[in-house]
């Protein structure tokens, strides 16, 4: 794989370059990122880089200074550089060409159709520079890395209930022999099995999980290898990664833990800085027996889940695990839900005391899994949902969001975040169902609310069903109170509003079919029929009388 370094002081530009360019299609992988030329030179000296995309305007060391320094390095002659240019940077670009830049990319126009030819030409140039032996070594390294990743994946999956099936191995006998050889070379090492868990929202909007996983693994691998240690990683999902780190036998006990903590804190910091994602790491007790991989990984995963209770950015070891867990009681005894709901319905402020007492219990409860911790919250949210439905309300009227609260809490990253969200949400529900508030929602006010909604959306398809959902009441009730208050039915009011607007538009010179579409009647025949029913004349007759 051709290794690419992205150099720009703007994180949003680095993200765009990483996500918008189909690197894998060109046989490339992102080796890392840097925010200025000085940081980029350090990365080039510490690791293998083939292609650099470098911005011209950066603090500490700009693109021109970087190009000068790059050419003075031993590896500078084989690295291909592309310049990232703004429209006003052409003087810099010309100077960059003098120092060896092979082409440029306009930062403000990163469309694939325009960037891909530039990347393809750069890749062709790199391949022409790379000797056959170097290319074979790179390919062999990539194959070895993928094979080791597969071994780890299969090992931790062997005991992982509820996960996807293990990947099948091509040439099982040959693969087993290669594994035994690889493992035999590491008899003088201890290994640590770890689990990296990332923010539960990571990867949710983009959906390009393989690319995201590769970048996460590369970021962590780069840090570990920088300490001279060997690491194998396998993605179990875009949020969960198995880690196998080999350390010399002389590093044991507290020395091993201190080194591992330092490495993983640095890796987590890099993930936050370069990938904009937080996470935590759990590490099982060191071992030298590969038969323990699956069990050790489960221990590491439970440790990493402690991030939900104690916060991100931490490395958890075995002693952090609660001695006893209260999972079997997590769904009961947290709060008295019937009394809390009753107090809300009656406008009694004591509901908040009950809720806060339960939130405190949840904070102090020693749970082993996120799933167990979520159950009491979900139970409370279902009861609050039932309370709202009984009042003719829905969550969208409370939160103004389409996503139900039960789904939202599943993607939250900590108990503290959920507690804050639940308290805010409960206060909104309590206000919405308070007797004084409900009494103020009189029939005239309700009808006025529906009228305003019609006035805003008359040119769209409207129905009594949609209006009742918006108002949070039943169709039958809305139909009755609307007709009683307005002296006409819902359908009649909508028709009158549309026709009155159509009459105003006739004075603008628009064509009749355009007017019909404008007021919500795309069918010209239906428009004419409704218009005549309301005014006694066809649209054409009415417009003639206006002249």
Taking only the tens place, the pLDDT of each residue in 29-49 is 999 999 999 999 999 988 889
pLDDT at position 241 is: 94
In a domain, 188, yes or no: yes
Residue 516 lies in a domain: yes
How far apart, in Å, are the Cα atoms of 502 and each of 23, 212, 494, 506, 514? 54, 53, 12, 6, 10
Domain shared by 221 and 361, yes or no? no
Please check whether residues 310 and 346 belong to one and the same domain: no
Cα 299 to Cα 118: distance, rounded to the nearest angstrom? 47
- In a shared domain, residues 82 and 170: no
The mean-pLDDT minimum among 128-132, 235-239, 259-263 falls in: 128-132
What percentage of residues in the chain have a pLDDT greater than 70? 88
Q: What pLDDT was estimated at residue 454?
A: 92
Residue 444, pLDDT score: 64
pTM of the predicted protein model? 0.54
Residue 220, in any domain of the structure:
yes
Domain boundary among 130, 151, 181: 130
Whether pLDDT at 400 is above 80: no
Q: What is the pLDDT of residue 495?
A: 94
Q: Is residue 83 part of a domain?
A: yes
β pairing state of 240-248 and 189-198: antiparallel
Decide if 396 contacts 428 (C-beta within 8 A): no
369 and 503 fall within a common domain: no
Q: Do 276 and 191 have their domain in common?
A: yes
The CATH number for 456's domain is 1.10.10.60
Give a yes or no: residue 433 inside a domain.
no
Domain assignment present for 435? no
Exposure of 482 by Cβ count < 10 A (0-12 exposed, 13-18 middle, 19+ buried)? buried
pLDDT beyond 90 at 280: yes
Tell me how far apart the alpha carbons of residues 492 and 447 are, in angstroms, rounded to a whole number: 14
* 158/110 same-domain check: no
Based on the fold, state whether residues 234 and 157 are members of the same structural domain: yes
* Residue in 383, 368, 387 with CA at minimum distance from that of residue 330: 368
User: At 532, is the pLDDT very low, low, confident or very high (cuts 50, 70, 90)?
Assistant: very high
What is the distance between the alpha carbons of residues 515 and 116, in angstroms, rounded to a whole number?
Answer: 47
CATH number of residue 286's parent domain: 3.30.70.270
Mean pLDDT of 540-544: 88
- Both 108 and 150 in a single domain? no
Structural domain including 450 reads 443-546
Q: What is the pLDDT of residue 390?
A: 82
Residues 520, 411 within the same domain: no
pLDDT over 60 (residue 69): yes
How many distinct structural domains can be found in the chain?
A: 4
Are 230 and 378 found together in one domain?
no
Which pLDDT score is estimated for 189?
A: 79
Q: What is the CATH number of the domain that holds 124?
A: 3.40.50.2300
Write out pLDDT tens, residues 467-505: 988 887 778 878 888 898 889 999 999 999 999 999 999
Residue 110 counted as domain residue: yes
Measured CA to CA, the distance from residue 309 to residue 372 in angstroms comes to 12
287 and 174 belong to one structural domain: yes
Instruction: List Cβ neighbours of 304 (8 Å cut-off, separation of 6 or more).
Output: 194, 195, 196, 197, 280, 281, 282, 316
Q: Are residues 204 and 63 part of one domain?
A: no
Q: Write down the pLDDT at residue 33.
A: 92
Q: Which of 130, 152, 169 is the last residue of a domain?
A: 130
Domain closes at, from 130, 165, 190:
130
Per DSSP, helices labelled H in 391-442 are 395-399, 405-409, 415-433, 435-440
Instruction: Evaluate whether residue 64 is within a structural domain.
Output: yes
Q: What average pLDDT is seen over the chain?
A: 83
The DSSP letter of residue 245 is E
């Amino acid at each position: 794989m051709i290794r690419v370094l992205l150099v720009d002081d703007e994180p949003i530009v680095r993200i765009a370059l990483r996500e918008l360019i189909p690197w894998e299609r060109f046989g490339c992988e992102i080796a890392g990122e840097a925010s200025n030329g000085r940081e980029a030179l350090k990365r080039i000296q510490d690791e293998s880089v083939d292609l650099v995309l470098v911005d011209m305007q950066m603090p500490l060391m700009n693109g021109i200074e970087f190009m000068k320094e790059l050419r003075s390095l031993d590896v500078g002659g084989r690295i291909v550089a592309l310049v990232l240019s703004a429209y006003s940077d052409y003087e810099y670009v010309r100077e960059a060409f003098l120092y060896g830049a092979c082409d440029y990319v306009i930062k403000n126009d990163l469309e694939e159709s325009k960037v891909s030819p530039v990347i393809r030409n750069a890749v062709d140039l790199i391949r022409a520079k790379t000797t056959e032996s170097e290319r074979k070594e790179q390919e062999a390294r990539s194959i070895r890395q993928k094979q080791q990743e597969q071994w780890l994946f299969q090992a931790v999956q062997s005991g992982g209930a509820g996960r996807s099936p293990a990947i099948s191995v091509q040439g099982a006998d040959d693969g087993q022999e290669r594994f035994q050889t690889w493992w035999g070379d590491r008899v003088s090492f201890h290994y640590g099995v770890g689990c990296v868990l990332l923010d539960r929202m990571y990867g949710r909007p983009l959906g390009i999980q393989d690319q995201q996983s590769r970048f996460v693994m590369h970021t962590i691998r780069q840090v570990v290898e920088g300490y001279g240690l060997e690491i194998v990683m396998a993605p179990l999902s875009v949020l969960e990664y198995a880690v196998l780190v080999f350390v010399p036998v002389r590093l044991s006990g507290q020395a091993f833990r201190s080194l591992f903590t330092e490495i993983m804190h640095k890796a987590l910091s890099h993930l936050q800085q370069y990938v904009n994602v937080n996470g935590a790491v759990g590490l099982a007790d060191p071992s030298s027996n590969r038969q323990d991989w699956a069990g050790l990984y489960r221990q590491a995963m439970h440790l990493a889940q402690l991030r939900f209770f104690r916060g991100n950015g931490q490395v958890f070891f075995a002693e952090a695990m609660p001695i006893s867990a209260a999972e079997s009681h997590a769904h009961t005894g947290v709060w008295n839900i019937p009394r809390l709901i009753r107090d809300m319905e009656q406008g009694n402020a004591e509901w908040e005391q009950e809720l806060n007492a339960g939130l405190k219990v949840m904070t102090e409860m020693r749970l082993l899994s996120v799933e167990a911790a979520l159950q009491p919250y979900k139970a409370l949210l279902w009861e609050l949902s039932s309370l709202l439905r009984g009042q003719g309300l829905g969550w969208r009227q409370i939160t103004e969001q389409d996503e139900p609260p039960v789904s939202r809490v599943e993607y939250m990253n900590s108990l503290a975040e959920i507690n804050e969200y639940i308290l805010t949400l409960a206060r909104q529900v309590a206000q919405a169902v308070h007797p004084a508030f409900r009494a103020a929602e009189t029939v005239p006010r309700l009808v006025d609310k529906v009228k305003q909604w019609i006035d805003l959306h008359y040119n769209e398809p409207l129905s009594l069903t949609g209006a009742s959902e918006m108002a949070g009441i039943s169709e039958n009730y809305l139909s009755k109170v609307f007709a009683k208050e307005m002296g006409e039915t819902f359908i009649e009011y909508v028709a009158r509003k549309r026709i009155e607007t159509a009459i105003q538009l006739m004075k603008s010179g628009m064509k009749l079919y355009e007017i019909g579409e404008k007021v919500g009647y795309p069918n010209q025949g239906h428009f004419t029929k409704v218009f005549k029913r309301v005014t006694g004349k066809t649209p054409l007759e009415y417009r003639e009388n206006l002249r």
